[in-house]
Structure 1
Amino acid sequence: MMLPSDNHVHTRWSWDTAGTSTMEATCRRAVELGLPAVAFTEHVDFTEWGDDDAATPGMAVGDRPRVVPLDVDGYLADIEGCREMFPDLRILSGIEAGEPHRFSGSVAAVLAAGRFDRVLGSLHGIPVAGRLEGITRRLFAEHDPHDLVRRYFADMVTLIERSDVFTVLAHCDYPRRYWPADRVGAYRENDFEEHYRTVFRTLAGTGRALEINTKSPLASVDLVRWWWQEGGGAVSFGSDAHQPAHVGNRFDVAVDIVEAAGFRSGRDPFDFWRR
């Protein structure tokens, strides 16, 4: 079986990834697995509002002590070096833009600084009590989990409607990673079906792709089928790897899920899977 491209990979250029996670090691792993391509979508997050950002008046950015700017020049130079070392592997440049509907000006400035082949749109934080707070276990401990997830989905609809810089919506149910199952029971997709469908319907109307993220708890066939039923036309696979060993992780299972939901690979192995 030909595995799909891994369209969501992080290396040492991302602020939350170890220096030992190099592009070269990641490319070697991708070649071992037989992946046709990898996209290095490094984190682009911000700790304060820029002049051209669409910040809500009076809203502060919550604590993000580890976040640092992406070194665009160094990152792109590393991309070119790996393209020379691995001529048979398609290597895409890219970013994972955090909250691009809020940090619109700041994201635009990064994109203007270089050429990026793949841009993911991500939501890692939501407004809580006048602050843009990151989704964490602490946040779930302090607030009603069901309410937090519903608010997350509502903000994701806003992200899709107000930002056109990204081509793939990453990990659409990111809070699921921190769901307090020990306190409120297992996360159930059906509890949020209408919220998922609203997100999917909004995304489908823009012609963009939905990511199947294999670092998150894997989506069910039913969930991917909701995307298909709401008009979704394309699926992108992403490991969200922060270590070379995790590139392409669980893609064999993800492929089975996506095929069962009605999506198929095209003639071009580098393309998204489509209905």
Structure 2
Amino acid sequence: MLPPDNHVHSEFSWDTGPSASMVETCARAVRTGLPAVAFTEHLDFTVWAAEDRASRDGIVDRHPAQQQPIDGEAYAAAIEECRDRFPDLRVVSGVEAGEPHLFAASIAAHLAAGPVDRVLGSLHSLTDGGRLVGVSRMLTRSGADATMRRYLGEMAQMVRDSDVFEVLAHVDFPRRYWPGGRDRYAERPFEAEYREVFRALAETGRALEVNTTSPLASVELVRWFRDEGGEAVSFGSDAHTPTAVGQRFDLAVDVVEAAGFRPGRDRFDFWRR
């Protein structure tokens, strides 16, 4: 039996469009045999609160700055519609909070106005002077290896400094954009940096996501998380279209199982060691 897809985007994420229909995604999830799907829409900020660390650190803008806020009222109504239309599918509300250690006050304000079931934490950008810059742009500007080490170091700090999220999304997001092609990326040269992230995550009992849009994590990588005390693994397609929901979950299950994790307490749970 397939696990839940705990990382899915619908038309309510700023980087999708009408084709990313929440209703069509649910219908696809049912046909695929998924027990649950979590709509974790992008929660990113181009304007933030004075109380946020980003303000205290002197960050004044973001590049690129295409991010838009979530229409919370319409999103909540769509979630309820899907729960009514697909009673055999567990429909989970959520957000993917970008750089949550930098935007704690702004995230708290959003969640107070629109509580959700699941929060993912992710890192898409790094600071460059007084601005946040998409990490894919920094791979060539600052050198791929140096950027990757800085990225993983910042992610470890993010895990330590933010307790708002339950699942760490796509731990090595920059590998999607690796110079020369994603297949040229190697995990082992960054083992020490990965393990630092995994130790921080394990110490707080949170789950590591195996992301199936990213190049699929190796068994060895997931085992490093287990070695560092990691207890739980989440599966996420990171789908931005209905056809991608649950993508490559058969392969991801094989990886996670080989690394020593098994299905959890019920079919909706994380996999556990």
Amino acid at match of 2:7: H
Q: Cα deviation per residue 1:121-143 (whole Å; 9 max; x = unaligned)?
A: 0000111233211112x322211
**1:259 — aligned with what?**
257
**1:247 — aligned with what?**
245
SS in 2 for 1:241: coil
Pairing of 1:134-213 with structure 2 (within 5 A) = 134-136=134-136, 138-181=137-180, 186-213=184-211
State which drifts further: 192-201 or 15-24: 15-24
2:63/2:131 contact within 8 Å kept:
no
SS in 1 for 2:266: coil
Distance 1:126 1:71 in 2: 26
1:181 CA displacement? 2.6
Distance 1:145 1:266 in 2: 37
Distance 2:186 2:148 in 1: 12
SS in 1 for 2:250: helix
Q: TM-score, normalised by structure 1?
A: 0.96
Question: Does residue 30 of the first structure (1) align with residue 56 of the second (2)?
Answer: no
Task: After the TM superposition, list the runs of 4 or more consecutive aligned residues in structure 1 that deviate by more than 4 angstroms.
Answer: none
Distance 2:135 2:143 in 1: 13
- Give aligned pairs, total: 272
Distance 1:213 1:45 in 2: 19
Distance 2:157 2:264 in 1: 31
Structure 1 gap segments, 5+ residues each: none
Question: Structure 1 pair 185/170, CA: closer, same or farther in 2 (3 Å)?
Answer: closer
Distance 2:128 2:146 in 1: 11
Q: TM-score, normalised by structure 2?
A: 0.97
Q: CA RMSD in A?
A: 1.3
Q: Cα deviation per residue 1:96-144 (whole Å; 9 max; x = unaligned)?
A: 00001001111111111122001000000111233211112x3222111
State which drifts further: 120-129 or 84-93: 120-129
Distance 2:50 2:38 in 1: 30
2:263/2:270 contact within 8 Å kept:
yes
1:62 CA displacement? 2.2
SS in 2 for 1:120: strand
Amino acid at match of 1:141: T
Distance 1:118 1:9 in 2: 12
1:47/1:64 contact within 8 Å kept:
no
Distance 1:148 1:130 in 2: 17
**1:229 — aligned with what?**
227
State which drifts further: 79-88 or 59-68: 59-68
**2:94 — aligned with what?**
94
Distance 2:49 2:18 in 1: 28
Distance 1:57 1:207 in 2: 29
Distance 2:25 2:68 in 1: 22
Distance 1:111 1:21 in 2: 23
Q: Cα deviation per residue 1:213-248 (whole Å; 9 max; x = unaligned)?
A: 000000000000000100000000000000000000
1:256 CA displacement? 0.1
1:274 CA displacement? 0.0
Question: Does residue 84 of the first structure (1) align with residue 84 of the second (2)?
Answer: yes
Question: Structure 1 pair 38/62, CA: closer, same or farther in 2 (3 Å)?
Answer: same
Amino acid at match of 2:131: R
SS in 2 for 1:62: strand
> Percent identity, aligned pairs only?
60
Question: Structure 1 pair 62/114, CA: closer, same or farther in 2 (3 Å)?
Answer: closer
1:37 CA displacement? 0.1
2:195/2:228 contact within 8 Å kept:
yes
State which drifts further: 50-59 or 105-114: 50-59
**1:268 — aligned with what?**
266
Question: Does residue 62 of the first structure (1) align with residue 25 of the second (2)?
Answer: no
**2:130 — aligned with what?**
130
**2:215 — aligned with what?**
217
**1:8 — aligned with what?**
7
Distance 1:240 1:51 in 2: 31
Distance 2:152 2:210 in 1: 17
1:185 CA displacement? 8.6
Q: Cα deviation per residue 1:58-101 (whole Å; 9 max; x = unaligned)?
A: 22322233211111111011000110000010000000000010
